[in-house]
Structure 1
Amino acid sequence: MSNSTMDKVKGTANEMAGKARQAAGKALDDPEMQADGLAQEGKGKLQKAEGEAKDAVKRMVDKV
């Protein structure tokens, strides 16, 4: 599996885990857990963006 694909997979996993952690934090009235979930979701979004950027660079290089 390519690095860009791994970034996107890890990013999706982190986003899902972050959303679950946020929901658990809300259900348990735990603001710290909610904040941790939000941070993890953000990390996932960045990982996915990194994978997309790597794909874009590869497409550009392949055109040349």
Structure 2
Amino acid sequence: MSGEDKIKNAAEKAKGKAKEATGQAVGNERLTAEGKADQAKGDLKQAGEKLKDVLKD
């Protein structure tokens, strides 16, 4: 996994966690759901990068 992709994926997960926490704090279900979706998207991208690394070796 390239370092740049790893950083982008981690940033996306962090953004999602912040959105989720903010949504929960203010009682906004849509923002909470968006945060969870962003985290899942970051996880999925990271898994894809890891798979590419395994297949590359």
TM-score higher than 0.5: yes
The C-alpha deviation readout for 1:10-53, integer Å capped at 9, x for no partner, is 21111111011000001111000000000000000001001101
In structure 2, C-alpha distance between the alignment counterparts of 1:52 and 1:8, rounded to whole Å? 10
In structure 2, C-alpha distance between the alignment counterparts of 1:56 and 1:23, rounded to whole Å? 34
SS at the partner of 1:20?
A: helix
| Bigger Rg over Cα | 1
What is the percentage of aligned positions where both structures have the same residue?
36
Could you tell me which residue of structure 1 aligns to residue 45 of structure 2? 47
TM-score scaled by structure 1?
0.79
CA RMSD of aligned residues (A): 1.1
State how many pairs are aligned: 56
Structure 2: runs of 5+ lacking an equivalent: none
Structure 1: runs of 5+ lacking an equivalent: 60-64
Could you tell me which residue of structure 2 aligns to residue 20 of structure 1? 18
